[in-house]
């Protein structure tokens, strides 16, 4: 007769890039229940955002995440622009899309590398990191930094991308495209990858909707939910279409991201092609007043910022709901029934960002 035992999984674990603990109830090697314990990197950034003025908050909020930092500042700026009734120049909207999609690419490549690492495929991890390096160089070239770009500002963007740098971005995308051929082949067809991912950590479309799953976790179950479809920034002009899979397992979540990499490259190429001339920011005066819910699609899914301005330079309230926070409840539904050895893969398959989650 099997006996139940509870083990702490994390917060320090070779697979986890950031600290999170799962208290797992096991029957032999089978997980029957899971409970998350977070709070290992809670920084109180929401409170700090109320102490700083709303212009300084652009820099602060960009630092919520060390992976998709640009997305945070972009969402915040879009929210404040809505409160101020501030129009954003067309060129700035396209530049935002270019940086956002480049960020998505580096985030997805990091995910693929960490996923390969989670089942011991070190060589594939290194190939992903090598490919990602080209993307990081694009960011360094255009913004001066590799991750924290700080190019987004209220009313537009702070920095333009000149034509010669656009050519270099296109060349870098070609190099990434060539490397992705091999990566795609390995991730889609390799026996080890399939053996470890197919049928592991399954979630149905109904469960995904019920538990509030977002991003690739929802899209892998066939739930076509991607805020880029709403056409914010310049996505309307670029003709975005959501990528979905139907299996709902770890392999499907990986495939969504793999396919999105191609889509990102296509979006960046199209944005460069259609990039209009003109100013890159709109000057403004005044302080924000009112409440706004700002949302964009991050690499991990829907990001929501609630911003309340009271007419002063300090915000009344800033609240962030990051996609990993939303994907914790679906994770708790994926884990029961799986083997203990599959827990790291399932956790990594939601691409958790704990710094975002705890803020």
Partner 1 sequence: MSSLINATPVTTENLLHQVALLKQQGCRLITLTCLDTGDGHEVIYHFAQKYEMIHLRKHVANGGTLISISTIFFCAMIVENEIKDHFGIEVHGLPIDFQGRLVLSENAPRAPMNKRCGMEIDARVPEPASTVVIAPASPPAKEAVPQTPAKGGVA
Helix, strand or coil, per DSSP, at residue 222: coil
Number of residues in contact with partner 1 under rule CB under 8 A: 44
- Find the binder of partner 1 among 5, 7, 8, 44 (CB under 8 A): 44
- Find the binder of partner 1 among 135, 136, 280, 326 (CB under 8 A): 326
Encoded tokens for 228: 């880029």
- x/- track of binding to partner 1 for residues 197-236 (CB under 8 A): ------------xxxx------------x-x-xxxx----
Whether the CB-CB separation of 311 and 287 falls below 8 Å is answered with yes
Contacting range for partner 1; rule: CB under 8 A; set: 60-68, 187-195, 247-255, 301-309: 301-309
**Alpha helices, DSSP H only, in 190-287?**
191-197, 205-210, 216-219, 235-238, 250-274
Residue 210 Cβ vs partner 1, minimum distance, rounded to whole Å = 7
- Find the binder of partner 1 among 70, 94, 121, 325 (CB under 8 A): 325
Whether the CB-CB separation of 190 and 255 falls below 8 Å is answered with no
- Find the binder of partner 1 among 184, 282, 290, 314 (CB under 8 A): 290
Residue 329, H or E segment: helix 328-334
Helix, strand or coil, per DSSP, at residue 162: coil
- Find the binder of partner 1 among 20, 24, 26, 38 (CB under 8 A): 38
Contacting range for partner 1; rule: CB under 8 A; set: 30-38, 59-67, 87-95, 149-157: 30-38
Whether the CB-CB separation of 43 and 358 falls below 8 Å is answered with yes
Contact partners, residue 342, CB within 8 Å, separation at least 6: 196, 200, 201
State the Rg of the chain over Cα.
20
Residue 9, H or E segment: strand 4-9
Q: Is 18 in the site for partner 1 (CB under 8 A)?
A: no
Q: Which is nearer to partner 1, 114 or 354 (CB)?
A: 354
Closest by Cα among 197, 61, 179 to 109: 179
Query: Please, which of residues 327-346 interact with partner 1 by CB under 8 A?
Result: 328-330
- Find the binder of partner 1 among 294, 343, 347, 348 (CB under 8 A): 294
d(CA 91, CA 197): 42
* Interacting residue ranges for partner 1, rule: CB under 8 A: 35-36, 38-39, 42, 44, 46-47, 78-79, 81-83, 209-212, 225, 227, 229-232, 290-296, 302, 304, 306, 308, 316-317, 319, 321, 325-326, 328-330, 358
């Amino acid at each position: 007769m099997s006996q139940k035992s509870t083990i702490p999984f994390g917060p320090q674990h070779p697979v986890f890039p950031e600290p999170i603990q799962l208290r797992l109830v096991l029957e032999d090697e089978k997980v029957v229940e899971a409970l998350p314990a977070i709070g290992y990197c809670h920084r109180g950034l929401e409170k700090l955002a109320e102490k700083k003025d709303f212009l300084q908050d652009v820099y602060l909020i960009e630092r919520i995440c060390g992976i998709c930092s640009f997305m945070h500042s972009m969402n915040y700026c879009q929210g404040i622009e809505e409160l101020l009734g501030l129009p954003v120049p067309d060129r700035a909207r396209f530049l935002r899309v270019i940086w956002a999609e480049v960020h998505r690419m580096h985030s997805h490549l990091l995910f693929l590398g960490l996923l390969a690492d989670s089942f011991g495929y070190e060589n594939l991890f290194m190939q992903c990191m090598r490919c990602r390096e080209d993307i990081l160089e694009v960011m360094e070239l255009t913004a001066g930094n590799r991750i924290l770009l700080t190019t987004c500002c209220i009313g537009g963007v702070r920095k333009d991308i000149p034509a010669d740098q656009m050519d270099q971005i296109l060349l870098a995308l070609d190099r990434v495209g060539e490397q992705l051929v091999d990566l795609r082949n390995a991730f889609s067809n390799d026996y080890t990858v399939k053996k470890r991912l197919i049928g592991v950590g399954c979630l149905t479309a109904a469960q995904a909707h019920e538990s509030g799953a977002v991003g690739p976790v929802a899209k892998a179950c066939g739930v076509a939910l991607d805020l880029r479809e709403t056409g914010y920034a310049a996505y309307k002009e670029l003709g975005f279409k959501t990528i979905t899979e139907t299996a709902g397992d770890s392999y499907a979540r990986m495939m969504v991201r793999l396919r999105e990499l191609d889509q990102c490259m296509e979006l960046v190429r199209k944005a460069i092609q259609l990039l209009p001339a003109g100013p890159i920011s709109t000057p403004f005066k005044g302080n924000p007043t009112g409440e706004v819910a700002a949302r964009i699609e991050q690499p991990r899914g829907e990001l929501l910022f609630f911003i309340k301005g009271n007419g002063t330079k300090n915000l009344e309230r800033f609240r962030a709901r990051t996609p990993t926070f939303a994907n914790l409840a679906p994770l708790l539904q994926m884990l029961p029934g799986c083997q203990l050895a599959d827990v790291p893969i399932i956790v990594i398959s939601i691409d958790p960002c704990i710094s975002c989650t705890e803020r």
